[in-house]
Amino acid sequence: MIAKVEPLTPARALRGPFDYRLVGALEAVGVGSMLVVPFGNRRLLGVVVGLAERSELRDDRLAQPLAALEADVPETLVRLGLWVAREYVSTPARGLALVLPPGTGTGATKPVRPKRSLRASLTPLGESLGGEGVAARLGPRQRAALDALAGGALGAAALSRRAGADHSTLRSLERRGLLRLEHAAEPPRRPRVEGVGAPGGAVALTAAQSAALRAMIERLGAPRPAPLLLHGVTGSGKTEVYLRTVAAALDRGRSAIVLVPEIALTPQTAGRFVERFGDEVAVMHSRLSRRERYDEWWRMRHGEARVCIGPRSGVFAPLADLGLIVIDEEHDGSYKQEADPRYDARAVAERRAAEEGALLVVGSATPRPESVLRYDRLELPARCGTGEGPGPPPFEVERIAGAAGPGREPPPVEVGEVVGATGPGRGLPPVDVVGMLGAAGPLHELTREALDEVRRRREKAIVLLNRRGWSNFMSCRVCGRVWECPDCDVTLVLHREAGAVACHHCGHREPMPRVCSECGSVSVARHGAGTEQMERSLGELVAPLPVFRLDSDVAAASGVAAVLRSFEAAPAGVLLGTQMVAKGHDFPEVTLGVVLDADATLRFPDFRAEERTFALVAQLAGRSGRGSRGGRVIVQALDPDTRALRHAAAHDSTGFVAGELERRRELAYPPFGHLIRVVCSSSDPGPELAAARAVGELVAAARVPVLGPVPLFRRNARHRAQLVVRSPDRAPAIAAVRNAVETVASDRAHVASIFAVDVDPQ
């Protein structure tokens, strides 16, 4: 038997798979096994990505693996890792590294432990089933495993070869009481008593929650369920719906993955899953030690934990019989990895769910246009559990008629009127948008009054400083014009030292303007200010109430959780911070939310600017007025009449997304077109541009539209040049970029350059 092994090396040039001959005990390895193999005069760790009867190499040229690791990866995940490598134009080794047990990464020097041998035998129940596997609703591999065992106990490795049944298949048969698994070298394990925790919480679901839950459970039973979008305002009880859907998946003998943005920022959500499902839950987060991470991985791999809660990397959890993937706060930017492979966990989840027949549920109060367009939508229109007030309005399980799935023609987008009742009816706070043009100082009169009221009544407020608003841009003091890129519909960023404004999207640049070309005014403002300054002004305004500052500097020093705890513990005060303060915390006593410089995001060079601005305001509004005292939100903006802000003030995300889709269709932006960015860099000027030109020519030769190359600003002392591919046809565009980059990267003429490819840049 021949194993096709992909070596785990960071080198882009070294491409497997390479053939190795399997003899003796190693004949038992399968796809997903991890082997230590000789490679030249080195030893490398590798993953088996395929098996074959014979090799094209002569027998005496075939080496044998040195050992197999104890841990192995499910075959489905090997395929997923290789898919990520292709889809995001990375290397097989880097794609596979994502699915390996924690700590095994792309190194070769990790401790190797012998593979423990697991033996399986039929229980009396399994024996009594005979050939009735079909009746017991078993999958083909499960049936094959039972058939193979009818002849007597077998090692797991042999079973894997004979019946294609991997560990997790065996574990699920074990759970059904059909077979017994024992470690040959260990005392037999007691069969695990399965309990799915408390059945539901104490709360009775609202009508809207019940309807959403019913729809999800219905799809959970379908063989190839189409994804669902749970579109629920903040506080509408989405988490409770997830919890019960996960319980339903477990009841059906299946496992579930729940992705959350950052556990450090949203400990409450993860906590609720642990509370409900106990040991069934494996929690992955960055604070775990490598050993702890490995142990959680092991528990999932062997069916001991069947629910994974984690950030984006949780999408690669080694769970078998996957029934459900939930992505909470699906709009969150942290689902995109910013280092190679630059994968998007939302796209990976969609792929994995489709491959494994699992249901994908994504949820948000501010869903992405991509999801609204492509997924069937369930709505939770009102907050629940706020106590007083009228109950939620009549609900509707809405399926957008003709919603387009992958490959289907998108429906016409209707730009809705801004409707949606503000506040009371749905338990959401009223939002005032105030214009700052010509305002004296950073705080509007209305904001000052509201903060003063918080001070007098000893309440709590959250003030969100739009970080990007404190980056540099230019505007006209007289007419309000903001300098934009002629090609990209985004704002130009001011680079003071260079004396220029530039587009970070396409690279367009022009000299810093001195005169407004709209109105001729010479009063052109350069923006950019400090956060500590705001902390001081707020402190003076609300004294003696304390101000808690939360931004990335503070977070790095004392930890986000510490700051949030002090704010929570204080009887009154103001939490001031960047985007972080708008994430899913639940502070019932907050009565005022303020967004400073809300439309600053719009001046950021990014076609997602509108979406981000809307989400920011809507999410902050979600933090205010959760308690019985109610609350309000004030949004300060240069232009209060901006579309994103009008919709945010009306809590109208449906209308916002409709307009956004319209705009994106016109500009062929996602989801109507696909963007791929290629950045070539080198330490000396010159090679990066030559390499980018070479890549661009090859891409264009494949008849894929490409813009550039354009020089980018130096970063990390490297000279950079960028190409942007914008195409309606995804697969051919990715293939063209992959071929071009691989060709140029292996050309000796371009050794001085490094290549970074970003598919679906955020």
Tell me the closest approach of the beta carbon of residue 280 to ligand ADP, in angstroms: 20
CA distance 636 to 597: 5
Interacting span for ligand ADP (CB under 6 A) from 171-179, 199-207, 283-291, 741-749: 199-207
- Element at 170 (helix H, strand E): helix 167-175
CA distance 711 to 498: 14
What is the bridge-based pairing of β-strands 590-596 and 706-715? unpaired
Interface with Zn ion: number of residues (CB under 5 A): 15
Under the binding rule (CB under 6 A), the answer on residue 559 touching ligand ADP is: no
Phi and psi, residue 502, nearest 5°: -145, 155
Question: Which is nearer to ligand ADP, 366 or 491 (by Cβ)?
Answer: 366
Tell me the closest approach of the beta carbon of residue 623 to ligand ADP, in angstroms: 10
Interacting span for Zn ion (CB under 5 A) from 256-264, 446-454, 464-472, 488-496: 488-496
Shortest Cβ contact with ligand ADP: which residue?
Answer: 385
Among the listed residues 150, 203, 479, 522, the single contact to Zn ion using CB under 5 A: 479
By the 8 A CB rule, do 620 and 464 touch?
Answer: yes
Interface with ligand ADP: number of residues (CB under 6 A): 15
Question: Which is nearer to ligand ADP, 238 or 352 (by Cβ)?
Answer: 238
CA distance 383 to 623: 12
CA distance 140 to 163: 9
Q: Identify what 205 binds: Zn ion, ligand ADP, none; CB under 5 to 8 Å per kind.
A: ligand ADP
Tell me the closest approach of the beta carbon of residue 423 to ligand ADP, in angstroms: 17
Token pair of 447 as six digits = 């904001």
Within 227-256, the residues that bind ligand ADP by CB under 6 A are: 232, 234-240
By the 8 A CB rule, do 330 and 230 touch?
Answer: no
Q: Identify what 209 binds: ligand ADP, Zn ion, none; CB under 5 to 8 Å per kind.
A: ligand ADP
Q: Identify what 236 binds: Zn ion, ligand ADP, none; CB under 5 to 8 Å per kind.
A: ligand ADP
Question: Which is nearer to Zn ion, 503 or 555 (by Cβ)?
Answer: 503
Q: Identify what 238 binds: Zn ion, ligand ADP, none; CB under 5 to 8 Å per kind.
A: ligand ADP
Question: Which is nearer to Zn ion, 361 or 724 (by Cβ)?
Answer: 724
CA distance 219 to 338: 33
Tell me the closest approach of the beta carbon of residue 516 to Zn ion, in angstroms: 3
Q: Identify what 631 binds: ligand ADP, Zn ion, none; CB under 5 to 8 Å per kind.
A: none
Under the binding rule (CB under 5 A), the answer on residue 694 touching Zn ion is: no
Q: Identify what 749 binds: ligand ADP, Zn ion, none; CB under 5 to 8 Å per kind.
A: none
Within 366-385, the residues that bind ligand ADP by CB under 6 A are: 384-385
Question: Which is nearer to Zn ion, 487 or 666 (by Cβ)?
Answer: 487
Question: Which is nearer to ligand ADP, 364 or 591 (by Cβ)?
Answer: 364
Under the binding rule (CB under 5 A), the answer on residue 493 touching Zn ion is: no
CA distance 437 to 636: 10
Tell me the closest approach of the beta carbon of residue 611 to ligand ADP, in angstroms: 19
Under the binding rule (CB under 5 A), the answer on residue 582 touching Zn ion is: no
CA separation, residue 401 to residues 362, 405, 413, 654, 655 (Å): 19, 12, 11, 14, 16
CA separation, residue 544 to residues 438, 479, 659 (Å): 30, 39, 44
Under the binding rule (CB under 6 A), the answer on residue 364 touching ligand ADP is: no
Within 97-126, the residues that bind Zn ion by CB under 5 A are: none
Among the listed residues 485, 502, 581, 598, the single contact to Zn ion using CB under 5 A: 485
Q: Residue 740: how many CB atoms within 10 A of its CB? A: 27
Which string of b and e fits 720-737 if b means at least 16 CB within 10 Å? bbbbbbbbeebeebbebb
Tell me the closest approach of the beta carbon of residue 235 to ligand ADP, in angstroms: 4
Under the binding rule (CB under 5 A), the answer on residue 506 touching Zn ion is: yes
What is the residue type of 95? Answer: G
Q: Identify what 505 binds: ligand ADP, Zn ion, none; CB under 5 to 8 Å per kind.
A: Zn ion
Binding track over 516-555 against Zn ion, x by CB under 5 A: x-xx-x----------------------------------
Cα-trace Rg, the chain: 28
Tell me the closest approach of the beta carbon of residue 231 to ligand ADP, in angstroms: 10
Question: Which is nearer to ligand ADP, 239 or 682 (by Cβ)?
Answer: 239
CA distance 543 to 24: 77
Q: Angle formed by the axes of helices 167-175 and 140-149, to 10°?
A: 80
Q: Identify what 488 binds: ligand ADP, Zn ion, none; CB under 5 to 8 Å per kind.
A: Zn ion
Tell me the closest approach of the beta carbon of residue 760 to ligand ADP, in angstroms: 26
Tell me the closest approach of the beta carbon of residue 566 to ligand ADP, in angstroms: 22
CA separation, residue 702 to residues 31, 90, 506 (Å): 34, 20, 21
Tell me the closest approach of the beta carbon of residue 234 to ligand ADP, in angstroms: 5
Ramachandran region of residue 573, left (φ > 0), alpha (ψ -120 to 50) or beta?
Answer: left
CA distance 515 to 476: 8
CA distance 565 to 579: 17
Token pair of 757 as six digits = 């490819």
Question: Which is nearer to ligand ADP, 76 or 206 (by Cβ)?
Answer: 206
* Chain position carrying tokens 């990976």: 348
Question: Which is nearer to ligand ADP, 75 or 240 (by Cβ)?
Answer: 240
Tell me the closest approach of the beta carbon of residue 387 to Zn ion, in angstroms: 50
Tell me the closest approach of the beta carbon of residue 262 to ligand ADP, in angstroms: 15
| DSSP state string for 88-137 | TT--HHHHHHTTSPTT-TT-S-S---PPPPEEEEE-HHHHHHTTGGGTTT
Interacting span for ligand ADP (CB under 6 A) from 200-208, 334-342, 390-398, 672-680: 200-208
Specify burial of residue 190 (Cβ count, 10 A radius: 0-12, 13-18, 19+): exposed
Q: Identify what 521 binds: ligand ADP, Zn ion, none; CB under 5 to 8 Å per kind.
A: Zn ion
Under the binding rule (CB under 6 A), the answer on residue 270 touching ligand ADP is: no
Binding track over 601-620 against ligand ADP, x by CB under 6 A: --------------------
Rounded to 10 degrees, the C-alpha dihedral 689/691/696/701 comes to 140
Tell me the closest approach of the beta carbon of residue 458 to ligand ADP, in angstroms: 24
CA distance 69 to 32: 11
Q: Residue 338: how many CB atoms within 10 A of its CB? A: 10
By the 8 A CB rule, do 256 and 325 touch?
Answer: yes
Phi and psi, residue 531, nearest 5°: -85, -35
Using CB under 5 A as the criterion, which residues of the chain lie in contact with Zn ion when the complex forms? Answer: 476, 478-479, 481, 485, 487-488, 503, 505-506, 508, 516, 518-519, 521
Using CB under 6 A as the criterion, which residues of the chain lie in contact with ligand ADP when the complex forms? Answer: 203-206, 209, 232, 234-240, 384-385
